[in-house]
Structure 1
Amino acid sequence: MRLERQRSDGRCDFWEAKVNRRKRTLELTSGIVNVRNTRTTKTFTSSKDLSAALDKLTKAKLAAGFKEPTVIGSHFLPKPLPTNPVLEAAIREDRSVAGAYGVYADWLQGQDSPVGEWIAVAASLEKAPDPKKETRLQALTDALSLPTKDFATWGTRSGFFEWLRLENSNDWMAKEFDPVAFAEKLFATPLCAALEELRIGILRWDYNSEDVPAVLRVAGKHDWAKSLLRLHLGDVSGDIDMAHHSIGDVGDAITTSFPNLRWLKLHSGSQEWRGEGETFGIGGLALPALETLVIETCAMTKGRLAGLLSAKLPKLTALELWFGSIDRDADATAEDLEKLLDGTAFPAITKLGIVNQEFGGALIERLASSKLAPQLVSLDLSKSTLDSTTAPLLAEIADRFPKLESLNVNDNFLVDDDIAALTAAFKRTRVLEGSQDKLENAEDNYRYASVSE
């Protein structure tokens, strides 16, 4: 059992007792949460003595002001809010019709729920700031027990959520946090009626690869999910190592829950060391309306790439794929891109990114014969291994890209002469050189993808 007590300095004392009945031991840990702790173990001659000692210690701690901790996140939205599926459907039918939002807000106010006024005040604040209204909105937020910013953030349109981001930045190491129950309560509110974009960061660090797919399936139970337009999984800060963050096997869950997505971004490593099934799965995608797909990873394996290239994405026009280092978790090769570059997988592609890879000349050879090359308006080869040996090869095939408007070679191993040669060869194309700082730190001829962990 665990007991906690808040301190006047904002920190938290804790006391935890673990019982081993077989060995008749009582392990006691106490201290200040995330600061320090001490641990002692006591052995008893009988189970009766152990139970008596535990009971006495527990009563003493309760008398000293300790109490059982509240599971983080469980206090939000303690009771369901009123909803009207017919009025919600009317909003989603045409999100540009402001009147539909107002009708639903009026109906909600008629249900004696603070959420109706919350929507009205939020809509008003979209037009102009007003300190009094901001104070009122916070009071309504508290009355409704909406999640605090360390669990969820959002932006509104006409008072309803336009985008919603979930991340447990309060304590993502808390095993007891239940992200599925938390998401279920929030997704069921009328505020999600016209949600256009869902973003998910870290929910529980050690269980994120399980939590994210589960939360997606919970979302799929709600009507608004069928018209969601944008989804971003792995929406984490830049100081989180990619290899240490994973979003789980999400392909099927995305397809089932969000069939009308237009834009999808996945940011994930694989945490292969866990050895507990697929921690980053992208197979099974079938999204008939998807136009843009970004997959940022340092762990593009042959299997993951094959699963992606089997996806059914008939309207896909923009694709950005990251790979990773071949001496880490990324074993996909330039040869494995055949279905992509010959136009079989996604024939409508006009914007292509093959990013964070170590393919070198092997990729350029395949770009030269690619059926996609004549239709590309944008090509991104950033964060990779282009250097003075491969840049001339790329310059030689410039005429294969008659429509190319942008060529991104940022963060490679290029010198000024390489950039000049590419700029001269791609006469009608904007060459984005960015930074080539990797060259200064390269040892001999070692070339590497920018993000390997």
Structure 2
Amino acid sequence: MIRSHLSSFAGLPVLPFTPGMALPDDPSAVAWRLEVEDFEADPEEFAALVTALRDEVPADAVRALVIGEWGSAYERALPVDLLVAVAEKWTSLRAVFLADLVSEQCEISWLTHGDITGLLAAYPSLEVLWVRGANELRLDPVRHTGLRELVFQTGGLPGSVTAAVGGSDLPALERLELWLGRRDYGGDTTPDDLADVLAGTRLPALRHLAVSNAEHADQIVAAVAAAPVVRQLKVLDLSKGVLTDAGAEALLAGEPLTHLRRLDLHHHFLSDSARERIVAALPGVEVDLSDPQAADVYDGREYRFTAVGE
């Protein structure tokens, strides 16, 4: 569960924009946050906020945007078309975070998006794109030579989006995070959907890969463990999911991991012996095995959950 907004993004402190506000001495030294106060605000209110930012802040000072509440986020898609419409002016924009909302505003699985392909097409110099939530999220395969960091924080990532990422040519991408989530919340990504990502062919610069928050983590980890892309990584993040001893065995039997700088497995369901085997097998690798979990038992049946769901 995500409980706090970002205080910084893309290396810049986040500053909420208010129409008519006094601008900082260097308006390019902040990430501008756009958010309406009323969670059921009319679409025109958020559109007016985008227009005010366009008119009041020098175009070359809009380097990073953090989009918060846009009004009825639980059922109305984030209007990326408003950002696309000003792309010719905001040529210095390098980083965008779509939907920095916390659970008190809207549960992550309810955050509604549409097709975000046009955003990438409109901003060929974009370097960082984060997306929170995946309800009705759509993406087509693209070629984007500028993107270095792509993050999907979800309680359920559609397999179609995962496959589109794998089908995209992203030669500069260094960091990719895919929070897969639960099927109950639209997370139907399978190892087949991940195949192109795990091959790494279209991701030659990738060094940090997170395939995390997975309900069927053992199955996903087994696919990752045998993947060619592992050889080029410095950081592998398989955290926040339902990882058990079976997944740990598959991980240790797969591609060598001793070249990694960091292996993140926090929030797991591993036994003490499995944890010991992982640490012993990876001398010199920073292994995060914090936040161990135990199954919940109801009526004699065990239940295990991802760190981020609804």
Aligning the two structures, in what range does the TM-score lie when normalised by the shorter sequence?
0.7 to 0.9
Of residues 118, 131, 134, the one that matches 1:266 is: 131
* 1:441 maps to 2:288: no
Q: Report the residue type matching 2:296 in the other structure.
A: N
Distance in 2, Cα, partners of 1:243 & 1:421 = 35
Alignment of 1:96-111 (within 5 A): none
After superposition, what is the alpha-carbon deviation per residue over 1:150-208, rounded to whole angstroms, capped at 9, x for unaligned? xxxx8x4635563200011x212123643223211221224443222111011111587
Counterpart for residue 146 of structure 1: 20
* 1:166 maps to 2:22: no
Q: CA deviation at 1:285?
A: 4.1
Distance 1:236 1:327, change over 3 A: closer
- Helix, strand or coil at the partner of 1:188: helix
Counterpart for residue 246 of structure 1: 112
- Helix, strand or coil at the partner of 1:228: coil
Counterpart for residue 21 of structure 1: none
TM-score, scaled to structure 2: 0.84
- Helix, strand or coil at the partner of 2:97: strand
Counterpart for residue 199 of structure 1: 66
After superposition, what is the alpha-carbon deviation per residue over 1:113-145, rounded to whole angstroms, capped at 9, x for unaligned? xxxxxxxxxxxxxxxxxxxxxxxxxxxx99xx5
Write 1 or 2 for the structure with the bigger share of helix: 1
* 1:410 maps to 2:278: no
Q: Report the residue type matching 2:50 in the other structure.
A: A
Counterpart for residue 379 of structure 1: 236
Q: Report the residue type matching 1:180 in the other structure.
A: A
Q: Report the residue type matching 1:184 in the other structure.
A: T
Distance in 1, Cα, partners of 2:27 & 2:149 = 28
Distance 1:323 1:358, change over 3 A: same
Of residues 208, 220, 234, the one that matches 1:363 is: 220
Cα RMSD of the aligned pairs, angstroms, is 2.7
- Helix, strand or coil at the partner of 1:389: helix
* 1:323 maps to 2:190: no
Counterpart for residue 279 of structure 2: 423
Distance in 2, Cα, partners of 1:384 & 1:198 = 29
Counterpart for residue 80 of structure 2: 213
Counterpart for residue 294 of structure 1: 151
Alignment of 1:21-100 (within 5 A): none
Distance 1:428 1:201, change over 3 A: same
Is the contact made by 2:265 and 2:290 (CA closer than 8 Å) also made in structure 1?
Answer: yes
Distance in 1, Cα, partners of 2:266 & 2:78 = 35
Distance 1:420 1:177, change over 3 A: same
Q: Where does the alignment leave 5 or more consecutive residues of structure 1 unmatched?
A: 1-140, 149-153, 271-278
Distance in 1, Cα, partners of 2:195 & 2:202 = 9
Counterpart for residue 103 of structure 1: none
Is the contact made by 1:309 and 1:340 (CA closer than 8 Å) also made in structure 2?
Answer: yes
Large movers: runs of 4+ above 6 Å: none
Counterpart for residue 346 of structure 1: 203
Is the contact made by 2:177 and 2:209 (CA closer than 8 Å) also made in structure 1?
Answer: yes
Counterpart for residue 184 of structure 1: 51
Distance 1:147 1:407, change over 3 A: same
Is the contact made by 2:84 and 2:118 (CA closer than 8 Å) also made in structure 1?
Answer: no
Distance 1:393 1:157, change over 3 A: farther
Distance in 1, Cα, partners of 2:46 & 2:74 = 10
Q: Report the residue type matching 1:417 in the other structure.
A: S
Distance 1:160 1:173, change over 3 A: same
Counterpart for residue 10 of structure 2: none
Distance in 2, Cα, partners of 1:359 & 1:440 = 14
Report which structure shows greater RCO (CA 8 Å, sep ≥6): 2
Q: CA deviation at 1:440?
A: 4.9
Q: Report the residue type matching 1:146 in the other structure.
A: G
- Identical pairs, percent: 24
Of residues 304, 307, 314, the one that matches 2:164 is: 307
Q: CA deviation at 1:395?
A: 2.7
Q: Where does the alignment leave 5 or more consecutive residues of structure 2 unmatched?
A: 1-16
Q: CA deviation at 1:307?
A: 1.9
Distance in 2, Cα, partners of 1:167 & 1:325 = 28
Q: Report the residue type matching 2:289 in the other structure.
A: E
Distance 1:159 1:289, change over 3 A: closer
- Helix, strand or coil at the partner of 1:344: coil
- Helix, strand or coil at the partner of 2:303: coil
- Helix, strand or coil at the partner of 1:412: coil
Is the contact made by 1:353 and 1:380 (CA closer than 8 Å) also made in structure 2?
Answer: yes
Q: Report the residue type matching 2:87 in the other structure.
A: G
Q: Report the residue type matching 1:413 in the other structure.
A: F
Q: CA deviation at 1:290?
A: 1.0
Distance in 1, Cα, partners of 2:269 & 2:74 = 37
Q: Report the residue type matching 1:303 in the other structure.
A: S
Distance in 1, Cα, partners of 2:72 & 2:59 = 26
- Helix, strand or coil at the partner of 1:321: strand
Is the contact made by 2:99 and 2:132 (CA closer than 8 Å) also made in structure 1?
Answer: yes
